[in-house]
Structure 1
Amino acid sequence: MTTILVTGGTGTLGRLVTERLRGKGHEVRVLSRRTQPYAVDLRESGPGLDAAVAGVDTIVHCASTPRGGDEQAAANLIRAAHKAGVAHLLYISIVGVDRVPFGYYRTKLAVEQQVERSGLGWTVLRATQFHDLLVTLFQALSKSPVILLPAGVSDQPVAVAEVADRMAELAAGGPAGRVEDMGGPEVRTLRELAHAYLAATGRRRPIMNVPLAGQAYRDFRAGGHLTPERAVGKGTFEAYLADRFATGPRK
C-alpha cells in the first residue's frame, strides 16, 4: 500500500477521503493548519511542509478556502512535492470553473492550471456542490424573515460521501489527467431546494426570487455550474436532509 498525504484532511471532504483510504490499508497523513503532527499552513512554505510530504507517494489536495491564498498554497505544495519526488497529485475542483466568472471559481481554475503545468503526475476531478453547502447557505438566509434567492438559478447537489469514494478510488490509482465530472442525481431549482430545507427543519419562511446583475449570475442562470449529462450521484438532497435532521433541526 502507498503513503498518501491528504491536505485539508479534517475538512468536510478530506475527513471522509482519509477514512476511506485508511480503510483500504493505506498509510495516510493528514495535513491541516491545526492538526499535529502535520500542522501546516500551506500558504507558507517551510520545513513543516517538507516533512509532511517526505516519503509520500500521492497527495490528495482538498485544502481550499474562499478567503484567498489557494494559488500560493498550491505553488508551495507543488514545490515540496517536486523535492520529495511525489508521483501523483490529485486535486478536487468544481464543475463550471471554466464557464462561470465567479471569483472563487476563477481561483479553483487557476489552481487546476497550476496542477496541470506542475510537471507531476496529476488527476483533477470536478464535482458539483455538496449538500452541506446548500444547508449552510439556507441556514444563513433563513435567519431573515424572507429567504431571498437569485432568480432562475438551479443546482445539482451531490453527496460528499460519494465524492469521497471517487477521490479515494482515484488516489489509489495512477495519474489520470482530467477525469469525467461528477454531478448529483438531480438538477433542482434553488427554490425547490430551499422548500425542502424548510420542510426538513420545521421552519416557515416566505421565499422571494430576486434577479441579479453581472455575467457570473447570467452564467449561473444558464447552468454553467451544472453537469446533467454526468448525473452519477445517487443520494438526493431530501435523503441527506432526512438523515441530517432526523433528531430535529441543528443550529
Structure 2
Amino acid sequence: MTTVLVAGATGSLGSLIVENLLDRGADVRALVRKSSVNKVTAHPNLTPCIGDLTGGADTLQQYLDGVEVVVSAVQGGPEVIIDGQQELLRAAERAGVHRMIPSDFSTNLYGYSYGVNVLSDLRRVFADAFATSTVARTSVAIGAFPEYFLGPVHEVLDPAAGTFSVWGDGTRPIDITTIPDTAAFTAAIALDPKTAGRDVHVVGQQLSMLELRNEVEAASGRRWELVRKGTLQDLRAEVVRRQYTASSIVEYVALQHQVAMFDGTASLRDIRNADYPDVAPTSVTAYLAGSGAAHFTVPEMTRHRAEWPTPV
C-alpha cells in the first residue's frame, strides 16, 4: 500500500484528491489546520495530521516518515507557494520521500518565460528547488478549470449582459479539465512511479473559444452575444494597463492566463490520458448540464480583492 501525504487536504481540489487516493487503496495522511480537522471524513486508511506549511520543516517531518509521495494542493501567495512548499520539500527530503507533486494544476506553466504570469512565476521559482533535491518532482498540468474560467474572474461570461467575450480570433483550441477530473488524474499519477521527474499533461477536453460559446448556448438554451474585445496584442496591452492601475493581482492575473492560453504557449503537450484509462473525463457538455449551469445565473457575491486566486 502506497502512503501519500496531501497538503491542502480540505480544499476543493485537495479533498477530492484524498477521496480518489483512498478509492485507489492508498494510505493517506491529510495535512490540515486544527480549525479544519472536522472537515476530514473518517476512513480506516486516512490519518489527519494537524499542521500547516508555516510550521516549518522540523514540524512537518514527523508526518512524512514512511511517506512515499507528497501531493501539494495548497493555494496562496509566495509565502505559501514558494516558502511553504519549500519547507514541505525540505521535510520530505529528510524523511526520504521519493516524489512530490507540487501545486501547479494549471496550464503548461513551463511553456512560456518568466514575467508573463505572476502566479506561474511563483510555481516556476519553487520548481527550481528540485534541481538539487533528492525528491523527484512530478508536475501535473490540466489546462483551465471551467469552474474558474467561466466564472467572473475571467470575464468571459457575463450572465447579466448575456455576452460571451473573446480576445483574438477564438479559433485556437484551449485545454479544459474540471476540478473533479483533475483530482482523479492526480491520484492516478501520484500512484504511478513512472512519473518521477516528469511533467504529466492530462486533459478533459480541448475546444476553441468559439466552440465553447456554442456549448454554452446549447446548454443554457439562450443566445450569448459574441463580444470581440480585440487582438492578442490588445489583450497584452490591457494586462499592462491594469497592472499600473490595479489594487490587486485579481484584477489582471486571469487575463495573463488568457494571453498564454490564446497564443498557444500554455497549451498542453504530449497528453497522457491513455496512461490512465480508468479516468473518464467530463465533457464540457456534461459539466454545463450539471454544476456548470450555475454560470448562467447572475452571481450574488464578488471576489474579495485581496484574495490570491486559483491558478486558472
Verify same fold: TM over 0.5: yes
Q: 1:97 aligns with which of 109, 115, 120?
A: 109
* Distance across 2 between alignment mates of 1:182 and 1:102: 21
Which of 238-247 and 193-202 deviates more?
193-202
* Contact in 2 for aligned 1:181/1:227 (Cα 8 Å): yes
Q: Does 1:213 align with 2:232?
A: no
TM-superposed CA distance for 1:171, in Å, is: 1.8
Q: What is the Cα-based RMSD across aligned positions, in Å?
A: 3.4
Alignment map for 1:185-200 (pairs within 5 Å): 185-189=205-209, 192-194=211-213, 196-197=215-216, 200=219
Q: 2:288 aligns with which of 241, 244, 247?
A: 241
* Distance across 2 between alignment mates of 1:227 and 1:70: 22
Give the aligned partner of residue 76 of structure 2: 65
Give the aligned partner of residue 12 of structure 1: 12
Q: Which letter does structure 2 place at the counterpart of 1:163?
A: T
* Contact in 1 for aligned 2:162/2:223 (Cα 8 Å): no
Give the aligned partner of residue 263 of structure 2: 222
TM-superposed CA distance for 1:131, in Å, is: 2.4
* Contact in 1 for aligned 2:141/2:268 (Cα 8 Å): no
Q: Deviations over 1:143-175 (max 9, x none)?
A: 653647351255321133333233222222325
* Distance across 1 between alignment mates of 2:78 and 2:152: 16
* Distance across 2 between alignment mates of 1:12 and 1:91: 16
TM-superposed CA distance for 1:249, in Å, is: 6.5
TM-score scaled by structure 2? 0.66
Q: Deviations over 1:86-122 (max 9, x none)?
A: 2221235333312342111122222222234322133
In structure 2, do the counterparts of structure 1 residues 173 and 239 end up closer, same or farther at CA, with 3 Å as the change threshold? Answer: same
Instruction: Provide the aligned length of Structure 1 versus Structure 2.
Output: 250
Q: 2:198 aligns with which of 142, 162, 178?
A: 178
List structure 1 segments (4+ residues) > 6 angstroms apart after TM superposition: 246-250
Q: Does 1:114 align with 2:129?
A: yes
* Distance across 1 between alignment mates of 2:63 and 2:83: 17
TM-superposed CA distance for 1:181, in Å, is: 1.5
Q: Structure 2 unaligned runs (5+)?
A: 38-47, 240-255, 274-279, 300-312
Q: Structure 1 unaligned runs (5+)?
A: none
